[in-house]
Chain A
Amino acid sequence: MSDDALFEEFHAELYDKYYPQIMEGVEAMEGGDVKTGFESFARPLHTIKGVTGFMAGFEEASKFTHKVESYLKKLQAGEIEHSPENVAAAIRAVNMIFQVIEQIRESGEPDQTETSEVLKLLEAQSGGEDDTGQGMDFEVKVESQKGVNIIHVGAPRIHLESQLAPMIKALEDQKEGSWVLLDFTKVLTLSSAGWEAVESFADKLAICAVGLGSACKEVFYSWGFDRSISAFASEEDFWNSMKSH
């Protein structure tokens, strides 16, 4: 395809379709609704990243958008606090995407000083982590307290078999009939397949869970895993309930 034809089509979509969607997201974020803001941003930003990556000369716009998208994903997942400063940095970076595209269109390259400044700001606000958001101190730690084995799960996202394996191994190591408390405090998302794998141990272990974040909770309750796994709001609640056993 000719680059001119692609650019023309993309440019028309950019301002007719994506810009209004993104501005809706900006308004929602300015109003403190990060979730709605992210939902409005997600698809147009993904498209901008993908299509500019395909257009000769616009690769820098694609890379920049990728970094902004990574920051927004961390913000949406709660890995970055929803403070006014962090939200303002997100809005500034999103607006900058349009500027980068126009600068490349006009002069062949973005204003490096300005883009570096925004990227440094994002890095500083996100604590200088890499853009994978997969930082993890440990995979699984097991400790025993008052006859209960507590399995602390360290992976922020559990979707792939390799991410699930350490927790499953820890469950396999438990003696039949024992009480197990899964601590998901550090887990942001756990797939339904992951919950199913945990549930498969429920016929031989008494499984409880604590520290469920909003995304974990959504899958947990919507799929009905609360029928076989008991969830507690805090460890204290769990120990209080144990007193009655």
Chain B
Amino acid sequence: MKALVVEDEFVSRKMLDSFLAPLFEVDVVVNGAEAIEAFSRAHNQGNSYDLILMDIMMPGVNGLEALERIREIERENSLEPVKVVMTTALSDPKTLIKSFHDGEASAYIVKPLDKIKLMTELKKLKLITK
């Protein structure tokens, strides 16, 4: 299985990479624009992601904008929606609701990150069994 980590902050990036590496082939990008590009490239190569972990506050294209663009690409190409977990320090109701409604996020994790929180969500999404 393939995962894409979208995270501008170095420590979070390393942490998520280390949590996922035993289970997924992990690619890492640092902003929303790169996330859209990585998503499209993987799809064009017939090697799509099974999971995207998306930070929200990032320079340039933020995580919510990137996710909305990814959903548009999926609709345009009749693709099965990729599972996207928002991983963010933002915990306000508007961002949470917008993530599920406008971005059709699969799950939402408020930082600080830890392995148990992440694995619990991946289990709920049936990406892992144990």
Q: How far is the CA of A8 from the CA of B110 in the complex (A)?
A: 19
**Contact across chains for B78 and A51 when beta carbons are under 8 A apart:** no
Contact indicator B96/A1 (Cβ below 8 Å) = yes
* Chain A residues, CB < 8 A from B43: 193
Interface range on chain A (Cβ under 8 Å from partner): 20 to 34
Q: Which of A119-127, A154-162, A175-183, A236-244 contacts B (4 or more CB under 8 A)?
A: A154-162
Distance in Å: Cβ of A136 to nearest Cβ of chain B: 16
| Binary A-proximity of B78-99 (CB < 8 A = 1, otherwise 0) | 1110000000000111101101
A13 to B79 Cα, complex, angstroms: 28
Q: Say yes or no: is B62 at the interface (Cβ < 8 Å to chain A).
A: no
CA distance A9 to B99 in the complex (A): 14
The distance in angstroms between the C-alpha atoms of A46 and B103, with both chains bound, is 10
Residue with the highest number of chain A CB atoms closer than 10 Å, among B46, B92, B108: B46
Q: Is B126 an interface residue (CB 8 A)?
A: yes
Q: Does B104 contact A (CB under 8 A)?
A: yes
Residue interface bits A44-59, CB-to-B below 8 A is 1, else 0? 1011011100100000
B-contacting 9-mer, from A24-32, A144-152, A215-223: A215-223
Q: Which residues, 153 to 174 on A, are CB-close (under 8 Å) to B? A: 157, 159-161
Asked whether, in the complex, the Cβ of B126 is within 8 Å of the Cβ of A132, the reply is yes
Instruction: Give chain A residues whose Cβ lies under 8 Å from the Cβ of B107.
Output: 50
How far is it, in angstroms, between the C-alpha of A10 and the C-alpha of B92 when the chains are bound? Answer: 11
CA distance A215 to B79 in the complex (A): 11
**How many A-B residue pairs lie within 8 Å, measured between CB atoms?**
63
Q: Is the CB of B101 within 8 A of A191?
A: no
For chain A, residues 40 to 74, give those with C-beta under 8 angstroms from any C-beta of chain B.
43-44, 46-47, 49-51, 54
A47 and B101 within 8 A (CB): yes
Give chain A's interface secondary structure class.
Answer: helix
B18 within 8 A of A: no
User: Is B27 interfacial (CB 8 A cutoff)?
Assistant: no
Q: Is A185 in the interface zone, CB < 8 Å from B?
A: no
Contact B80 A9 (CB under 8 A): no
Give chain B interface residues in 33-78, CB to chain A under 8 Å.
43, 46-48, 50, 77-78
Contact (Cβ within 8 A) A9 B46:
no
In the complex, which of the residues B47, B78, B107, B110 has the most CB atoms of chain A within 10 Å of its own CB atom? B78
A159 and B80 form a contact (CB under 8 A): yes
Q: Which of A43, A157, A197 makes the CB contact (< 8 A) with B104? A: A43
B104 touches A46 (CB 8 A): yes
State whether B108 touches A54 (Cβ < 8 A).
yes
Given contacts A1-B93, A10-B93, A132-B126, contact A50 B48 (CB under 8 A): no
**B interface residues with partner A (beta carbon < 8 Å):** 1, 43, 46-48, 50, 77-80, 91-94, 96-97, 99-101, 104-108, 110, 126
18 example contacts (A-B, Cβ-Cβ < 8 A) are as follows: A6-B96, A9-B97, A10-B97, A13-B97, A13-B101, A46-B101, A46-B104, A47-B100, A49-B100, A50-B100, A50-B107, A160-B1, A191-B80, A192-B77, A192-B78, A193-B47, A197-B46, A219-B78
